[in-house]
Amino acid sequence: MYRNIIIALFLVVITGCGKAQSITDNVLPATEFSQKLDKTKDAQLVDVRTSGEFKNGHLKNAMNIDWNGGDFIEKAAALDKNKPVFVYCMSGPRSTAAAAKLRELGYKNVYEMQGGMMKWRNADLPEIKTSTAKGITLAQYNDLLKSKTPVLVDFYAEWCAPCKKMEPFLKKMAAEMPDKVKIVRINVDENTELCKQLNVSALPVLKLYKNDKIVWDNLGLVTEDEVRKQIAQ
C-alpha cells in the first residue's frame, strides 16, 4: 500500500514538473519568438496591449485583444484551440497573464514573447506602425540633460504598475526641490525609437545625470528614500 502511494506521488511530481517545463519552453526571447512564429503553420498571433499601444507599432498579422479590456475571454473565443497561439505585450506581464488564462481555457500550444515589444524593438526586429508619433530625438534628449542641477529621467508607461507606484513621489520631489533636481518623465510608448537608442528595454527605468554624465541607472521599483539618496550624493 505504501509502495503504491509513493509511486502515485512520484507520478504527480513528474507530471507537474513536465507541465512546468512545457510552459517554460514556451516562453521565448524575442528573436526565438520571431523564428518560431515564422516556422509555425496556422499560427495565431495576439497582441494583448491597448489599442493605443497597438497603433504605435505591432507585429505583422497580429490581432489586438486587450488583456485589460474587460472582454478578453469573449474575444479570445474566436481563436482555434487546436492551433498554436503566440501572445505578446509591451514588457511581459500582461502576455504572461493572458497566456495562463488561455491555457486554463484549453488552448493547447501557447507561446509567450519574453520581454515583449521592448525586447523586440531592442533586437531591431520588424514591426508595423500606424501612428505618426515619433517622440523626441536623441539630440533633443541630450539637450534636456544640459542643466546646472542634476537631471533625473523617468522612463515610464501608463500600463506599468511599478511606474504608477513611483509616480506620486517623483512628482512630489519635482515640486518640492526644483533647485536640487530636474525631473523629466518620458513615456516609452510615445518614444519607441529613443528607447531603442538608449537600450531601454524594460520598466521602470530611472537615469540620473550630473554635469551631462550618467551617475546612476536603475531598473525596477525603487523607494523614494533611495532616489533622494542618489540625488544628494
- Per annotation, catalytic residue among 17, 89, 163, 195: 163
Q: Let me know if 160 is a catalytic residue.
A: yes
Q: Tell me the β-bridge partners of 183.
A: 152
Radius of gyration of the chain (CA): 22
- Catalytic-labelled residue, pool 17, 89, 160, 195: 160
Residues 187, 192, 196, 201, CA torsion sign: positive
DSSP SS3 for 190? helix
Query: For this structure, is 195 an active site residue?
Result: no
Q: Which amino acid is at 4?
A: N
Q: How far apart are CA 140 and CA 55, in angstroms?
A: 24
DSSP 8-state assignment for residue 148? S
How many of the other CB atoms lie within 10 Å of CB of 14? Answer: 10
Q: What is the DSSP string of 83-104?
A: S-EEEE-SSSHHHHHHHHHHHH
Supply 16's cell numbers.
Answer: 507537474
Catalytic residue list: 160, 163
